[in-house]
Amino acid sequence: MPVTVPEVSVADLADRLDGAVLVDVRQPGEYEAGHVPSARLIPLQELPQRVSELPADEEIFVICRTGSRSHVASEFLIELGLTAVNVVGGTLAWFESGREVVAGDQPA
């Protein structure tokens, strides 16, 4: 049976970002070039090995560049019983919205 992946816009994410769990599944170089404040990096290919780092009892927002990799990651997390939400449009939509962006290898 196909998994339904909930989605959120970058505007809705911005409203819910304070205290939210946000995971960026892009590659390290993409993340370092610019990411949403508070986003923690867990590249998609590392997610299966690092899923234990994520809270089992909280909503997890997942973001990538455009929303494709984060959709795959969200589907994977949902199949494991976690509550994951895909960010539609990804960091490109976030950047285009004019919201704050952080560079470097650490969440802001």
Residue-wise pLDDT for 22-65, tens only, equals 999 999 999 999 999 999 999 999 999 999 999 999 999 999 99
- Taking 80 as the threshold, does the pLDDT of residue 108 lie above it? no
pLDDT, one tens digit per residue, over 71-85 is: 999 999 999 999 999
Q: Is the dihedral of CA 34, 39, 40, 42 positive or negative?
A: negative
CATH no., domain 7-96 = 3.40.250.10
Options 64, 73, 82, 84, the catalytic residue: 64
Output the pTM of the full model: 0.96
Closest C-alpha among 46, 57, 98 to residue 81: 57
Catalytic residue flag (residue 64): yes
- Rounded to an integer, what distance in angstroms lies between the CA atom of residue 57 and that of residue 45? 23
Query: How many other CB atoms sit within 10 Å of the CB of residue 70?
Result: 29
pLDDT, one tens digit per residue, over 9-20 is: 999 999 999 999
pLDDT bracket for residue 2 (50, 70, 90): confident
Instruction: Map tokens 């990096």 to a residue.
Output: 41
- Rounded to an integer, what distance in angstroms lies between the CA atom of residue 5 and that of residue 68? 12
Amino acid at residue number 63:
I
Ramachandran sector of residue 28 (left: φ over 0; alpha: ψ -120 to 50; beta: rest) = alpha
